[in-house]
Amino acid sequence: MGQVVVISTGGTIASRWQGSGFAADAAGGDVLATAPVPEGVSVRVVDLMSVNSARITTGHQLALLRTVREVLADPAVDGIVVTHGTDTLEESAFFLDLHHDDPRPVVFTGAQLPLEAEGGDGPRNLHDALLTAATVRDLGVLVVFDGKVHAARGTVKVQTLAADAFADPSGTRVADVTADGIEIHRRPERPAPLPLPAAEGPLPRIDVVMHHCDGDPLLFNAAVGAGAQGIVLVATGAGNATPEICAAVEAAVSRGVLVALTTRVSTGPVAEIYTHGGAVDLVAAGAVLTGTLRAGQARIAVLSAALATTDPAARADVLRHALAAPAAAVPVAAA
């Protein structure tokens, strides 16, 4: 089939017992040694980092993005697999997807059980990710878990412990891994990729604030006061908060802060339906609706916009571009 490069970043798939709990400490070669490699696939390993993914930072994600670009500069490479912790996998995968400009796939995978667990899911997931990376094209960045192939956009962790860890609650998966190979169901449409962020300069602070009963603007205003250049407001319902929070959003936007609006509900889009502090008023105050993207990926879209430019109006335009989810995915015609 071809050559696949595995970029190892840590996570449960690389975790061993530390005396009081598990933590990532295994090298990529040790992880690869647990998995059956698909016939005809040659594999090279890049050990980029080894961290539990709750510790992933923007700096780590930028290093991963640049490493992917460097690896794909070699035309002999057919695809990339990124082994990553499941806690923030959805964020790193979407960050790469927003900037991915190559037909060759970048496939994220990991595990819910640690490296040496009996009956662990890591070996199968890694095999399936290698097979996917070696065979598909023009699908963007993917997440492969439990025999299923998901588009990065919209895919989130939906199970804390179960093997079927990832799904898009508002969409359908891209493909399945079968005994006969990769069975593709749809080809996700993606906006044009964003340029590679500049290598120099301070990294922007992007915060997430959730609304709830008795919620007031205190934490939102604290984020602004802490220097946040972007804030994701996790609202209730279809994107609703209070008049007081709307006023805080308007004040923040007037100061050049980029505000995105999502919801704490697991499925469905945010929408301008309600006033008296609802999405109608929040959008009028300057917030940008995030469609079906939830907090983690909405934050990544704001982050990419903040990395693209320092101009507030241009940042809002970049954010809307990054959020440009297609009306419908492109189905694959039956053979």
Measured CA to CA, the distance from residue 9 to residue 85 in angstroms comes to 8
Measured CA to CA, the distance from residue 23 to residue 322 in angstroms comes to 33
Integer-rounded Cα Rg, in Å, for the chain is 20
Helix/strand/coil (H/E/C) assignment for every residue in the chain:
CEEEEEEEEECHHHEEECCCCEEECCCHHHHHCCCCCCCCEEEEEEEEEEECHHHCCHHHHHHHHHHHHHHHCCCCEEEEEEECCCCCHHHHHHHHHHHCCCCCCEEEECCCCCCCCCCCCHHHHHHHHHHHHHHCCCCCEEEEECCEEEECCCCEECCCCCCCCEECCCCCCCEEEECCEEEECEECCCCCCCCCCCCCCCCCCEEEEECCCCCCCHHHHHHHHCCCCEEEEEEECCCECCHHHHHHHHHHHHCCCEEEEEECCCCCCCCCCCCCCCHHHHHHCCCEECCCCCHHHHHHHHHHHHHHCCCHHHHHHHHHHHCCCCCCCEECCCC
86 among known catalytic residues: yes
262 among known catalytic residues: no
**Residue list for the binding site:** 53, 86-87
Active-site choice (86, 109, 236, 292): 86
**Residue list for the binding site for substrate:** 53, 86-87
| Beta bridge partner(s), residue 176 | 148, 183
Q: Distances in Å between the alpha carbon of 26 and those of 1, 34, 83, 227?
A: 27, 12, 12, 37
User: Kind of pairing, strands 148-151 and 156-157?
Assistant: unpaired
Active-site choice (12, 135, 262, 290): 12
Residues that are catalytic: 12, 86
